[in-house]
Amino acid sequence: MKLTAEGKIIIVIVLGIYALVISLFLMTPASTPLSFIIRLCALLAMTSIFIATFMTPFMVQLYKYFGKSFIKIHHVFSITGIVLATVHPIAFAIQEVNIGVFVPVFYPWYDFWLLAGRPALILIYVAVLAVLLRKKIPATWRPLHGLNYVVFFFGYVHGILIGTDFQNILILIVFTIMLILSLGALILKRLNAYKRSKKRKS
């Protein structure tokens, strides 16, 4: 199957989302090269995770539009998100000369959310591991892989509380829309699963 007109439109939209995020990012100058990497990787990681999660209810449509399995398309954004989400704290650890930036903080409660990016990094790897072990844990890998939705939410809260770029109202609006769309995709995914289950039983 060849790439359809709808597929080309989707590619343009996706590239437009990345371009929009980068353009808004550039509105706030970085103080150092490391700061540039830290901030940009965080924003692009969240963007990639959003796209990866948002597409999940549309597996059939994506196959028709791109002529490729959903998994292959999904993995492009998932892997991109994982790599960028990993580079973000590594660059921050180098800047701070402190490997403690990887350690989650659970108390006090405000600090947990302030540093929610730390547990989010762990959860994203749990989600990846679940996919790799899906044949060994067939009953639980899907819920574990669904932690990507939690990862995005944690990253969103972390960005609001401590992120430089989320001080930009336009970035805040863009990622709030992403969060709403991601939650909407999750609801639609569960509804589709419920309909399929009901259809099989009938």
pLDDT digits (tens, 9 = 90+) for 123-136: 999 999 998 898 88
pLDDT digits (tens, 9 = 90+) for 43-84: 999 999 999 999 998 988 888 898 888 888 888 999 999 999
1 pLDDT band (50/70/90 cuts)? Answer: low
Domain ranges for the chain: 5-201
Please provide the DSSP assignment of 84-148 as one string: HHHHHHHHHHHHHT-GGGGS---SSHHHHHHTTHHHHHHHHHHHHHHHHTTTT-TTTHHHHHTHH
Topology of 5-201 in CATH? Four Helix Bundle (Hemerythrin (Met), subunit A) (1.20.120)
**What does the pLDDT read at residue 167?**
94
Q: pTM (2 decimals)?
A: 0.93
d(CA 149, CA 52) in angstroms, rounded, equals 10
**What does the pLDDT read at residue 196?**
80
Angle formed by the axes of helices 147-162 and 33-54, to 10°?
140
The answer to whether residue 85 scores a pLDDT higher than 80 is yes
